[in-house]
Structure 1
Amino acid sequence: MQKMYRKQGRIILHVDCNSFFASCEIARDPSLKEKAVVVAGDPKERKGIVLAANYIAKRRFGIYTTMPLWEAKKKCPSLVVLKPDFSLYRETSSKVFQFLRRISPLLEPASIDEGYLDITECDSLGSPLEIAEYIQQGLLQTLHIPVSIGIAPNKFLAKMASEMKKPLGITVLRKRDVPNILWPLPVKEMHGVGDKTAKKLNTIGIFTIGELAKAEEERLQQLLGINGIRLKERANGIDDRPVDPEAGEKWKSIGNSTTLPYNVTEERILLDVLRELAQSVSERMKRKRVVSSTVQIMIRYSNFQTITRSKTWENPFQEAEEIFQYAAYLLKKHWNGNPVRLLGIAALDVFDKKAAMKQLDLFHYEEEAKREALWKTMEQLRQKFGEDIIRRGANLFQQD
């Protein structure tokens, strides 16, 4: 295998922690090891959802992520339900990546629970399979975290390989294996193809990865733009992206500030300015597809004294309203009442929304689930009395 990989170029591992949130909880409390365990946003909330489940819960009871918690409890009355502990998950994630960096400095974290490792120059540590086995056993013994590992000549194939055997699987996927192993799979199972993209591809008769691999480039570009060409390359096992250790560092913070036209002492005006700044920061975060857990504000007084204050919240954010609320909290807590000349907001330590912490989107899903009855009632009223029967107070204020 080593000779074969040397001829083809890179040797890349994709290391994926299995049921990460649940695994962290079990590592902290080994008595849970033989029990069905889920992590849920609020165990007392009937409309809460399952955010992560261990493999006993998944395979023995059919419990899956995003399942309503009441349904999960119905399937398994003895289910152990735990609230998420993000400080624990971040700490464990950091230790996992520290372990991987001992193997190779070419490590690219892709999310809190997965990363790419380039071991092309790690001959002295053994064959790719031996290195993967060492990593798997090492993480299991030292941190009690199970991982699945894909071994391949590029990142895309390594990612696809790591998904094939869970938990505690190690899979080798060569480029020559692509026609036999990947092409028969539904296109929606391909990394990089979401539900919306899969449905678009279905409309032009592409249902398998093999059909995508053989599709006309012009038609794909008309349908999906440049991403269509990129997906066809991936479907053929082509991916030239290097493992980039600095990929997660490219956007450390996103912020905006403004100098006020005059020195301001009215809190209402300062809050209006913060709201505009929050909107700007949110739009930039969305364009760059990143989220953050930390908001910082900067206050410069009329005498040019400048202070910065920040706070980290438990769940990542991206929406303008959340950024504004956090910034307003910091302003009210730290503004001394003196005239303000400049205000600024920054989202610190931003990370990729799609790749980093995939499971966090579920918290926003749960928040929406709590409001589901309200949304349904509003929709029924609109259908009966017209779209303008219920409007946001902010919209009415702006109209006035």
Structure 2
Amino acid sequence: MNNNRSIVHMDLDTFFVSCERLLDSRLNGKPVLIGGTSDRGVVASCSYEARKFGIHSAMPMRMAKQLCPEAIVLRGNSGIYTKFSNDVTEVIKESVPLYEKTSIDEFYLDLTGMDKFFGCHKLASELRQRIIRETGLPISFGLSLNKTVSKIATGEAKPNNEIRIISGDEKPFLAPLSVKKIPMVGNVTYKALCDLGVKRIKTVQDMPMELMHKVLGKNGLSIWKKANGIDNSPVIQYHERKSISTERTFGQDTTDMHKLKGLVIAMAENLAFQLRRGHKLTACITFKIRYSDFQTYTQQQRIPYSAMDYNIIPVVLDLFKKLYNRRLLVRLIGVKFSHLVEGGHQVNLFEDNEMHLNLANAMDKMRKRYGDRVVMSAAGMEAKTISRWNPFNGEPPPLLANRHQ
């Protein structure tokens, strides 16, 4: 284990709001809410001015408006945010050999060994200034010897600032903070810890590891380690190529348009469900068709980050129509989603149409409980054999689904 690692966590401040402010400076300094704008919508992102009123993300929009009636409410625009996210990624890519993009607005950089040249902190600082200069977006970072401490440090640095935790200072830095600041502590765990009288990270540091294990199981061990500033997880090189795909070869070559279309929809639905289950979004859809003479054609289409059926299925069908020659016998069809990033939950909160969001959630719950095949749109019904496979749990895929890294 290398104790002199230099890991930077960079996070774009109130990313969606910052993008909107670049496009309309009248939003500067005002309380801004982004999310579903209907009565039943949810806040996906809010400006610091809005947070002063007690507003936070995932709060019902109706409640947020009551807390701050003068807030400006905007519908999220995935296309704009995708573009800005890619702009920031480009700047990082040019400056840092090893980086991981963990969501639409968040990055880890491994600068270990770079200090031989010019100091990691200086490098990170200059990169941050360059991002602000070139994209116009505010961004904060934390620098320490591991991911957990750096991520927590970024939270303390915000808005639009930077913090460095010198090696050896991890425990005293973490001690006074709320246990809520530990990345894996959600509301349920927080409540469990509060019931134990544990509110500050220092209390966890002072507890024996065994006690945390006894009370919270395996989770307790991880929390104890993170509270003590221990985290060996590596920065995993980010590739745009992360993808999930599924393809189907027919026993008999077919020209049955109805059957083909049903199968295409079922494949797209299944992959979109896998995305939502892994909290991922896709920005690129590829369709592939092979005819009985083995001529193979593929076409892809970039889309704004999404994991929702009604954004994805029309694109897949459109590609199918473009490539399908009804005079030829079809041997194989395939669908692939690539350019995957985390952040599905955040972006899906823009679904103003809560009906779509609720429908997707309800269908996903059923699928998790009873298997992928229990619910699907009528058009996808005929495709009985699209497999159950979760590409995000590390298991090898069955024959139907191929995962390309």
Specify the TM-score bucket, using the shorter chain as the normaliser: 0.7 to 0.9
CA–CA distance in structure 1, aligned partners of residues 50 and 273 of structure 2:
39
**How big is the shift at 1:99?**
3.0
1:347 aligns with 2:340: no
Q: In 2 relative to 1, CA 210–46 (structure 1 residues): closer, same or farther, beyond 3 Å? A: same
Please report the RMSD computed on the Cα atoms of aligned residues, expressed in angstroms. 3.9
Is the alpha carbon distance of 1:53 and 1:271 closer, same or farther for their aligned partners in structure 2, counting shifts above 3 Å?
Answer: same
**In the aligned structure 2, how far is the partner of 1:340 from the partner of 1:235?**
57
Is the contact between residue 153 and residue 163 of structure 2 (CA under 8 Å) also seen in structure 1? Answer: yes
Q: What is the deviation of 1:167?
A: 0.6
Larger displacement relative to structure 2 (324-333 or 334-343): 324-333
Which residue of structure 1 lines up, in the alignment, with residue 232 of structure 2?
240
Corresponding position of 1:258: 248
Considering Cα pairs closer than 8 Å and 6+ residues apart, tell me whether 1 or 2 has the greater RCO: 2
8 Å CA contact retained: 2:307, 2:344: no
Q: Find the counterpart in structure 2 of residue 98 from structure 1.
A: 90
Q: What is the distance in 2 between the residues matched to 1:223 and 1:177?
A: 27
Query: Using a 3 Å threshold, how does the CA distance of structure 1 residues 278 and 100 change in structure 2: closer, same or farther?
Result: closer
TM-score, with normalisation over the residues of structure 2? 0.73
User: Structure 1: 5+ residue runs without aligned partners?
Assistant: 1-6, 377-390
Per the alignment, residue 397 of structure 2 pairs with none
Say whether the 8 Å CA contact 1:136–1:168 is kept in structure 2. no
Corresponding position of 1:27: 22
- Using the TM superposition, give the Cα deviation of residue 269 of structure 1 relative to its aligned residue in structure 2, in angstroms: 1.7
Q: Residues 35, 205 of structure 1: CA spacing in aligned structure 2 closer, same or farther, 3 A cutoff?
A: closer
The answer for unaligned runs of 5 or more in structure 2 is 363-374, 383-405
Cα 1:349/1:69, change in 2 over 3 Å: same
**Equivalent residue, structure 2, for 1:298:** 288
The percent of aligned pairs where both chains have the same amino acid is: 30
Q: 1:68: Cα distance to partner?
A: 3.5
Counterparts of 1:103-114 in structure 2 under 5 Å? 103-114=95-106
CA-CA distance at 1:191 after TM superposition: 1.0
* 1:64-83 superposed matches below 5 A: 64-83=56-75
Cα displacement string for residues 260-280 of structure 1 (whole angstroms, at most 9, x for unaligned residues): 122322233223433553466
Distance in structure 2 (CA, Å) of the matches to 1:293 and 1:239: 31
Residue type of the partner of 2:152? M
2:51 pairs with 1:58: yes
Q: Residue 107 and residue 315 in structure 1: after superposition, are their counterparts in 2 closer, same or farther (change >3 A)? A: closer
Question: Per residue, is there more helix in 1 or in 2?
Answer: 1
The amino acid of 2:259's aligned partner reads I
Structure 1 SS opposite 2:350:
helix
Letter in 2 for 1:35: K
Q: 1:47 aligns with which of 20, 29, 40?
A: 40
Q: Deviations over 1:228-275 (max 9, x none)?
A: 54443222211223333x2445x6222121221223222332234335
Task: Please name the residue that 2:81 is paired with.
Answer: 89
Say which is worse superposed, 100-109 or 14-23, in terms of deviation. Answer: 100-109
Q: CA deviation at 1:15?
A: 1.5
Count of residue correspondences: 364
- Cα distance in 2 for partners of 1:23, 1:334 equals 40
Deviation at 1:89, TM superposition (A): 2.0
- 1:119 aligns with 111
Q: Distance in 2 between matches of 1:193 and 1:243?
A: 21
One-letter identity of the residue aligned with 1:173: I
Closer, same or farther: CA 204–330 of 1 in aligned 2, 3 Å:
farther
Indicate whether 1:362 and 2:357 are aligned.
Answer: no
How far does residue 175 in structure 1 lie from its aligned partner after superposition?
Answer: 5.3
Find the counterpart in structure 2 of residue 335 from structure 1: 324
Alignment partners' CA distance in 1, 2:307 and 2:211: 38
C-alpha distance in 2, partners of 1:287/1:22? 26
Secondary structure of the corresponding residue to residue 156 of structure 2: coil
Contact 1:107 1:117 in 2 (8 A): yes
User: Mapping of 1:137-216 within 5 angstroms?
Assistant: 137-174=129-166, 176-198=168-190, 208-210=200-202, 212-213=204-205, 214-216=207-209
C-alpha contact 2:10 2:139 (8 A) present in aligned 1: yes
State the match for 2:367 in structure 1.
none
Contact 1:12/1:116 (<8 A) preserved: yes
Paired with 1:392 and 1:260, the residues of 2 have a C-alpha distance of 21
Distance of 1:217 and 1:48 partners within structure 2: 43
- Once the two structures are TM-superposed, the CA of residue 360 in structure 1 deviates from its matched residue by 1.7
- In the alignment, the residues of structure 2 paired with residue 49 and residue 26 of structure 1 have an alpha-carbon distance, to the nearest angstrom, of 20
CA distances 1:155-178 after superposition (whole Å, capped 9, x unpaired): 111111010132122223345444
Q: In the aligned structure 2, how far is the partner of 1:275 from the partner of 1:204?
A: 49
Equivalent position of 1:38 in the other structure: 33
Superposition TM-score, scaled by structure 1 size: 0.74
Aligned to 1:12: 7
